[in-house]
Amino acid sequence: MAANAVSGAAAFVAVIGQWTVFASILTAGIAVASAVETALKPSEKARLHGDLGRRFTGLAAEIATMSATKKNLDKVVASRLKIEMDELPERRLVDLLCYNEEARARGIGQEHFWPLSGLQRTLGYCLTFDLKRLDDWHDARGSTQNDATDDQ
Among 6, 23, 5, smallest CA distance to 14 is for 23
pTM: 0.49
Burial degree of 93 (CB within 10 A; 0-12, 13-18, 19+): buried
| Least confident piece of the model among 20-24, 26-30, 95-99, 102-106 | 20-24
pLDDT digits 0-9 by tens, 111-123: 889 999 888 888 8
pLDDT digits 0-9 by tens, 28-70: 888 888 887 777 777 887 888 889 889 999 999 999 999 999 9
Predicted pLDDT at 10:
65
